[in-house]
Amino acid sequence: MRSVRKAPRAPDEEHLVRLVAKGDRAAFEELYRRTSPWLAVRLRRRCGDEQIVAEVMQETYLAVWRAAGAFAGAAVGGSATGWLWTIAARRLVDAFRRRAHHAEPPPAAAVPEAVPAAEEEALATTVGGDVGDALRCLAPELRQVLQAMVLDGLSVRETAVLLGLPEGTVKTRARRARTAMREALA
């Protein structure tokens, strides 16, 4: 009878993280090789800015190298890839916060409007029908917030920076604008 020899199994990601915790560079390289493609794809789904994605990737793997010893793994029902994604997601949120914190409103945002702004004219031509009428009936301060958050896709913080308002004011105006839009369209 012949003995069948099985090929050695490659270590799974959890084992690689444990080796990284011991300072094993080859294990770190293997972990990076296995996980960086899907991690980059997931980050790109949430952020279109390649520079931010690259920074988050770098910060994530640096954190993995430094904190691999803190990985609890299957003992607490976790997985290495889940742990890695949690680190990356937190780094991405931090990057968004840094960007919003350092963002400066464009100079035109500080100038008081005496005539209809170009975006108001563009809005009038792009949003028509009942929605356009309801939008144009909103108070200007509510319309600005709604346009920034809904049409431009800005976050509350980015809208606050753009309009030079406190975040709480932006949230209140957004809620009031949505309520007014619902009533107008009902």
Q: Got the DSSP string for the chain? A: -PPPPPPPPPP-HHHHHHHHHTT-HHHHHHHHHHHHHHHHHHHHHH---HHHHHHHHHHHHHHHHHHGGG--GGGGT--HHHHHHHHHHHHHHHHHHHHHHH----HHHHSPPSS--HHHHHHHHHS-HHHHHHHHHS-HHHHHHHIIIIIS---HHHHHHHHT--HHHHHHHHHHHHHHHHHHH-
Query: What does the pLDDT read at residue 122?
Result: 45
What are the pLDDT tens digits along the chain (186 aa)?
555 565 556 678 899 999 999 999 999 999 999 999 999 998 998 888 899 999 999 999 999 999 998 887 766 677 888 889 889 988 988 888 888 766 665 555 555 554 444 445 444 444 556 666 777 778 888 888 887 787 767 788 877 877 788 989 999 998 998 888 888 777
Is this model's pTM higher than 0.75 or not?
A: no
